[in-house]
Homo-oligomer: A and B are copies of this chain.
Amino acid sequence: MAEVHRERRERLRAGCLASGIDAALVTRPVNIRWLTGADAVRALLVDGDRVTAVAAAGYRPEQGVTLLPAAPGADPAALLAADCHASPLGFEEHDLTVARYRTVAAASDARLVDLDRAVERLRTVKDEEEISFLRIAAEIADQALGELLESILVGRTERHLAMELERRMVDHGADGPAYPVRVGAGEHSGLAGHPAGDRRVEDGDFVTVSIGGCYRGYRSSATRTFVVGLAPADWQVELHRQVFEAQRAARESLVADAAPDAAELAARRVLAAAGHPGEVLGQGIGLEIAEAPRLGPQELGKLDNRVPVTVAVGVHLPGRGGVRIEDTLVVRPSQDGGPELLTITTKELLAL
């Protein structure tokens, strides 16, 4: 792994030099992890060939990283800035607070300039090892969900189902859940951000579950909506079919070189035909559950090969509930068969 991290730091360095930035001070934990593989590093300086880290006790630097001792009460980023004589020095404006910035600026004689999310941009396209971690994260969540669906759901609370799913993911080898599992029953179904609460599952309910695994730091996300009881009502069958079709249209648009808003447009076309406003959401996923790119009109350029994204479509009818379906996929060229689906749990309307 050390070689992978060295190569990533080299790309960051090259990108900075191309922007006229002599050295990069990285403070955002998820970016540091991507550049070093370590959670224990508190701040990282990439200054030419020299890579310096301040870390928590017990951290053993991999080859190519020099450790600078931490000092009690001192900001790790300020220690690195004081040790760096390159200028301009890039830092992460979107991570460093104003208070920490003052400390860093006081410690440094360099001109401080924004790195402009340089590391996030490098993280967008994944290598095949990163994608394999995402695949495992998605499989773990699929397994946990599959097991839960074989048990009795009626009478259990949303919160209890969510905790069981989290436990099962850990049992199957996850670092933990990618985010707190969300379960919405009945009138809570079909919503994006509904936290699992005290509502008990009843016969005839729609139940929406959003679940993701985390494996070696990489996170997946999937959302499914089921019906509890012997047979779904007609409106449930119809609404599920409409959301399913809209989300399928969105998914199928995710080929390399597509426009970033292709998925949203495709889903909205289907929803509009069905007469629903609905919600369509798509974005990158990896070490974070929401990262670059955003799948919408605000994103410029084209979709790159090997970019994992989530695509969600939801329709919620106030007071009645609704349907939400979400997958994690990897953008692939159409000649290679198009998008690779990582969250393979069935999207059929199961009656449980």
Contact = CB atoms under 8 A, between A and B. Distances in A.
A94 B99 contact: yes
A163 B170 contact: yes
Given A163-B170, A167-B167, A170-B163, A96 B93 contact: no
A97 B99 contact: no
A95 interface: yes
Contact of A97 (B98, B160, B298): B98
Nearest to A162: B170
Contacts of A47: none
A302 to B, nearest CB: 22
Interface string A166-184: 1100110000100010000
Contact of A166 (B93, B95, B102, B163): B163
A101 interface: yes
A94 B160 CA distance: 37
Contacts of A91: 98
Given A93-B98, A94-B97, A97-B95, A170 B159 contact: yes
Contacts of A252: none
A94 B176 CA distance: 29
A114 interface: yes
A176 B177 CA distance: 14
A348 to B, nearest CB: 30
A98 B99 contact: no
Nearest to A198: B173
Contacts of A97: 93-98
Contacts of A171: 160
Contacts of A164: 167
A68 B273 CA distance: 34
Contacts of A163: 166-167, 170
Interface in A144-171: 159-160, 163-164, 166-167, 170-171
Interface string A90-127: 01011111111110000000000010000000000000
A96 B94 contact: no
Contacts of A180: 176
Nearest to A117: B99
8 closest cross-chain pairs (CB), A and B: A93-B99, A93-B98, A94-B99, A163-B167, A98-B101, A96-B98, A94-B97, A163-B170
25 contacts: A73-B298, A91-B98, A93-B97, A93-B98, A93-B99, A93-B102, A94-B97, A94-B98, A94-B100, A95-B97, A96-B97, A96-B98, A97-B97, A98-B98, A98-B101, A98-B114, A99-B114, A159-B170, A160-B170, A160-B171, A163-B167, A163-B170, A164-B167, A167-B167, A176-B180
Interface of A: 73, 91, 93-102, 114, 159-160, 163-164, 166-167, 170-171, 176, 180, 298
